[in-house]
Chain A
Amino acid sequence: MIKHPLAFAVAAALTLAGAGQAQSARDYISVVGSSTVYPFTTAVAEQFGKANANFKTPKVESTGTGGGFKLFCGGVGVQHPDISNASRAIKKSEVETCAKNGVTDIVEINIGFDGIVLASSKKNQPMPLTIKDIWLALAKEVPDPATGKLVMNNFKTWKDINPALPANKIEVLGPPPTSGTRDAFVELVMDHGCKEFEAIKALEKSDEKKAKAACQTIREDGAFIEAGENDNLIVNKLVANPNALGVFGYSFLEENLDKIQGETINGVAPSFESIADGKYPVSRPLFVYVKKAHVGVIPGIKEFVAEFTSEKAVGDDGYLGKKGLIPLPDDQRKQVAANANSLKTLSP
């Protein structure tokens, strides 16, 4: 009885599919992946489009690192993206998925670093934190100082953790587990902070899985507040609540220096220089992955890679630096550019 509309819909869809197939040649580069790398790739894409009148501006989708690799590894062909942004290196399992779908030659480009900062309102006293303090403040279970056994984290104020810190309530606003920033925070801060304790080290020897969980599990009693993926929102919440700390990317600190301050971690304040020379402990490399099989099929990929690795973009004075990307050291940068421009693929 609803045969008519259904048949009509199917017929219409089939016609449309025909239109889709007819338009199989894509003449613009398609980029997917991490929302952290998105602000940088888009800047390069725009510059590339403006400087090259004969190429269209690449399309950059913000899908998240994992979602990006899923699409990127979908196969070879114009319906699959050419480039994937990632706020972490590609995983072995992802390389395998890629290979299964025929995506074997992948070029990895390390475009620079992104610092992760703990920041608070300017109205707050600066807090000289250490990675150990942060872990004690945020881990779900911490070693009991007397017995060394893991007990529920009962620290209420920063002073409880370290007498040198102010008696402010522990309140940290951070990204949810789906975010790459959260992964990096856990890996760079939590994983290192817990290693400062003998109890965890001992546990690691006996039960590695349990030790990992003890290191990485963040407390759920309200001290760590998942504030969503939008870093601007966290900045605004910090201004409204001077006692809270926020976790986000360095570019948001740089853009809001009039309202917030970055806390020193292990004695190093987050700044362009301290992240660039590796003194600031919480920074991660950012990557772009290129599908070599698409070079020559989709116009402009080679030129786009050249733009992305040029000194003009990722150099010490590059326009990506102005957007908050921390450049690689000189020699490493030259190496990356040489590898990328010769399309050297990941070794299997």
Chain B
Amino acid sequence: MNKATSPNGATPPHERDIKTIVNAGLARRHAAERRFRWYGLTAITLGLAFVVLMFANIINKGLPAFWQTYIQVPITFDAAALDPEGQRDPRALAGADYNALVRAGLRQLFPKVEGRLPLRALSALVSTDASYDLQRRVLADPQLIGTQQEIWLLASAAVDTFVKGNIDRGLEEANRPIKDNQIDWIDQLRAAGKIERQFNAVLFRSGDSREPEQAGIRGALMGSFFTLLVTFLLSFPIGVATAVYLEEFAPKNRWTDIIEVNINNLAAVPSIVFGLLGLAVFINFFGLPRSAPLVGGLVLSLMTLPVIIIAGRAALTSVPPSIREAALGMGASKLQMVGHHVLPLAMPGMLTGSIIGMARALGESAPLLMIGMVAFIVDVPKSFLDPATVLPVQIYLWSDLPERAFVERTSAAIMVLLAFMILMNGLAILLRKRFERRW
């Protein structure tokens, strides 16, 4: 619009034309804007709805697993049966027949039960761990011998599932795992206040088990801890060193370009490939033991390294060049410049990247299949070389078992895993919010 061409101050015709054109299109453009916003909103709502649905489903299924049914049974620690010689010899005490004590206690509760099958059904009310529980109690405190105690014994999974209302009592007897006479006994126990739900400490105290009521995630948690520790100790220093070298020291040439492309590619490699690599290198070549958290950690650090390097380099590039120039101008050496100024400023970003990489490693199960960590392991691992499994693998293994009571435990384990994930990602956000500087 050249004002010089309009001598009378009137709007020149072509300017009016533009206005009409703009006005004519305005409604359409606004509509497009509104539509676009609406698309975005729908996408977010949909995403949130799915997240809420998933969380609600998992929590709904998993929450009951944090409580466990116990039955109060009078147990007579008969000295004649447990320790006939009276020596209190731990070996003799360990070998005694504790099952008999449990059976006697249950019969004391229901003296009228007769016959082999009803008696078996009665014993099936409590977990098979009950006798081992009594054994542990006696070994821990031999004073119990000769006394009678009211003891809360772990109920069997079928009883637990029934008490939690997951078995319909209206079903035909043949079609439910818990029989009519057992329901009758449970009702009597309930009326007498001898059945109650307590916090499920077993879930956090013990390793895996094939009996749902005895199964716990302690072993998997410790396995995850050891594995992630190895991963962090290896991948963080190596990742940071690589990022610093590539970003601050390496010359820009074809070799560094190739390395950069390769690192970026590695970050996108499917995780199972790292498992195969781990099997070939660490187990077959170096002869490390299968199923060990050490090998798991090595494999997962191969997987997290590229993530940490990429995040580290991004954090380093975000430090403005003026800082570097100022340090160099003041006479600092290149190493001093990096160590005293650039690295501290980039550290929050690097840590954030590492934590997100570690959270991904925590949720990984595919590469561990190859190196033998998809396994049933009862004993809680105590070192980097003990056989171990990790939390996501435990979830996978439990989800595949036929027993109904494992469904809620699977969801409970998912909840614990999610809690750790949220914790780690929360930490990453906190670090970024508090320490990251923006220029």
Contacts and interface: CB of A to CB of B under 8 A. Distances in A.
Given A13-B298, A19-B385, A1 B289 contact: no
A62 B370 CA distance: 11
Contacts of B397: 62
Contacts of A232: 399-402, 407
A61 B375 contact: yes
B400 A1 contact: no
Nearest to B309: A5
Interface string B272-306: 00000000011100111111101000100000000
B210 A9 contact: no
Contact of A230 (B171, B294, B399): B399
Interface stretch (B73-81, B234-242, B425-433): B234-242
A62 B402 contact: no
A232 B401 CA distance: 8
B55 interface: no
Instruction: Say what secondary structure dominates the interface of chain B.
Output: loop
Interface string B94-110: 10000000000000000
A146 to B, nearest CB: 45
Given A4-B245, A5-B245, A16-B298, A59 B402 contact: no
Nearest to A64: B369
Interface stretch (B184-192, B331-339, B340-348, B376-384): B376-384
B24 to A, nearest CB: 51
Contact of A12 (B234, B245, B251): B234
B330 interface: no
A229 B168 CA distance: 28
Given A46-B378, A62-B376, A26 B175 contact: no
A39 B210 contact: yes
A255 interface: yes
B238 A9 contact: yes
Interface in B367-396: 369, 372, 374-379, 385, 387
A14 B377 CA distance: 28
A59 B291 contact: yes
A9 B250 CA distance: 19
B354 to A, nearest CB: 16
A252 B403 CA distance: 8
A257 B174 contact: yes
A39 B209 CA distance: 10
Contacts of A283: none
B118 interface: no
Given A4-B241, A231-B402, A20 B288 contact: yes
B379 A56 contact: yes
A57 interface: yes
A28 B176 CA distance: 38
Contact of B378 (A57, A63, A324): A57
A319 B245 CA distance: 60
Contact of B132 (A28, A50, A60, A323): A50
Contacts of B399: 230, 232
Contacts of A255: 177, 402-404
A53 B379 CA distance: 12
A294 B220 CA distance: 28
Contacts of B51: none
Given A5-B241, A20-B292, A61-B291, 11 more contacts: A1-B245, A1-B259, A4-B241, A13-B281, A16-B286, A20-B286, A23-B289, A42-B210, A231-B400, A255-B402, A258-B167
Interface of A: 1-2, 4-5, 8-9, 12-14, 16-17, 19-21, 23, 26, 28, 30, 32, 35, 38-39, 41-43, 45-46, 49-50, 53, 56-57, 59-63, 79, 229-232, 249, 251-252, 254-258, 319, 323-324
Interface of B: 94, 128, 132, 167-168, 171, 174-177, 208-211, 234, 238, 241-242, 245-246, 250-251, 255-256, 259, 281-283, 286-292, 294, 298, 369, 372, 374-379, 385, 387, 397, 399-404, 407
**Top 3 nearest A-B pairs by Cβ distance?**
A17-B286, A20-B288, A57-B378
30 contacts: A1-B250, A1-B251, A12-B234, A13-B281, A13-B298, A16-B298, A17-B282, A19-B288, A19-B294, A19-B385, A20-B287, A20-B289, A20-B294, A26-B289, A28-B387, A39-B401, A46-B376, A57-B378, A59-B375, A59-B376, A61-B375, A63-B372, A230-B400, A231-B402, A232-B399, A232-B402, A255-B402, A258-B167, A258-B171, A323-B402
